[in-house]
Structure 1
Amino acid sequence: MVSQPEIPDPQTRVERPSENELVVIRSFRAPVHLVYRAWADPALFRQWWIPRSCGMTLVSCEMDVRVGGTYRLEIGHVSMDQPMTFFGTYLEVEPDRRIVWTNEESAEGAVTTVSFAERAGGTDVTISNLFPSAEALEQELASGACDGTAESLRQLNELLQG
């Protein structure tokens, strides 16, 4: 049996359906088209993606959200000489329904699928990260990524409610 990660946020659910997959689920009281836009529009994305508590900033945010398009995010911190760079390619894009992209900054990068489902006037967002191995997922969990994701999603909720 695969252990389920714990996350200190009652609004965010984390599941580990297999040894190399991590799923994060959160509901928002906003229409699906607005939630999708917050993921697909770089000007909105940069307002919520980086957890404020980590003291980092999104130095650069380039996103061409279409099949075959690419993204490149540079994240900086005063203690870093060079920003961390995250990049990949969009594999699937269905407006208001689904975005799938690669995480190509390392050989251990996941394929991320974000699904948007309208429900009772709100939107359920499911983020699935499929890693190439159980070890790669364990490294991600050890980095505190679940806490950061939960905080980012809280910030997204604030943006949507603002």
Structure 2
Amino acid sequence: MKNRTSVERKSERELVVTRIFDGPARLVFEAWTRPELFMRWWAPKSTGVPLLSCEMDVRVGGRYRLEFGHEASKSMAFFGRYLEVTPHSRLVWTNDESDDGSVTTVTFEERGGKTLLVLHELYPSKEALDDAIVGMEGGMPEQFEQLDELLVTLGGARAGRS
């Protein structure tokens, strides 16, 4: 059985996405914090909008910037700063590209060679979450499938998984 991604609205302003990954927390964390790995899974392939660049200074106060599009002159950017970085277990960052940007917290909990990932987003208003949730419900499961595929190439998946 494949791992499932759960996308759940917890309140008017909160969204929680959970999934179990077949790999240790160290590898899953690295896939979220190393630009060369992040670029291989973050953009859902079905949208046809590639991730053009990824800059990450993964430390408290460090910044990140992601650019999507087909060419730099017609790209869109997502950016912010890291508020918390606890290797292999927790990341917290801001999404500063608009006034409706969320604060994202991702936790990585190792469970017998697998990782329970919980992504929590807190939006400034109900309307901001309403605008974001459609893309999250469609995009996150595909992104996480792509992360699963990457983990296999990194040696994170177990042989003979069910």
Q: Same fold (TM over 0.5)?
A: yes
**Corresponding residue of 2:115:** 123
State how far apart, in whole Å, the 1-side matches of 2:3 and 2:137 are. 13
State how far apart, in whole Å, the 1-side matches of 2:103 and 2:141 are. 19
**Corresponding residue of 1:64:** 57
1:38 is matched with which residue: 31, 34, 42?
A: 31
Q: Secondary structure at the match of 1:47?
A: coil
Structure 1 residue 150: Cα displacement: 1.0
Q: Please tell me the residue identity of whatever aligns with 2:66.
A: L
**Structure 2 gap segments, 5+ residues each:** 154-162
Q: Which runs of 4+ in 1 moved over 3 A?
A: none
Matches within 5 A, 1:8-23: 11-23=4-16
Q: Secondary structure at the match of 1:18?
A: coil
**Corresponding residue of 2:76:** 84
Q: TM-score, with normalisation over the residues of structure 2? A: 0.89
State how far apart, in whole Å, the 1-side matches of 2:105 and 2:144 are. 15
**Structure 1 gap segments, 5+ residues each:** 1-8
Query: Cα deviations across residues 50-98 of structure 1 (Å, max 9, x unaligned)?
Result: 00000011111100010000000110037x9520010000000000010
State how far apart, in whole Å, the 1-side matches of 2:3 and 2:20 are. 11
State how far apart, in whole Å, the 1-side matches of 2:139 and 2:7 are. 12
1:145 is matched with which residue: 92, 111, 136?
A: 136
Q: Secondary structure at the match of 2:55?
A: strand
Q: Please tell me the residue identity of whatever aligns with 2:13.
A: N
Structure 1 residue 145: Cα displacement: 2.4
Structure 1 residue 152: Cα displacement: 0.5
State how far apart, in whole Å, the 2-side matches of 1:155 and 1:10 are. 12
State how far apart, in whole Å, the 1-side matches of 2:49 and 2:10 are. 31
**Corresponding residue of 1:4:** none
1:95 is matched with which residue: 60, 74, 87?
A: 87
Q: How many residues align?
A: 152
1:104 is matched with which residue: 83, 96, 103?
A: 96
Q: Secondary structure at the match of 2:79?
A: strand
**Corresponding residue of 2:125:** 133
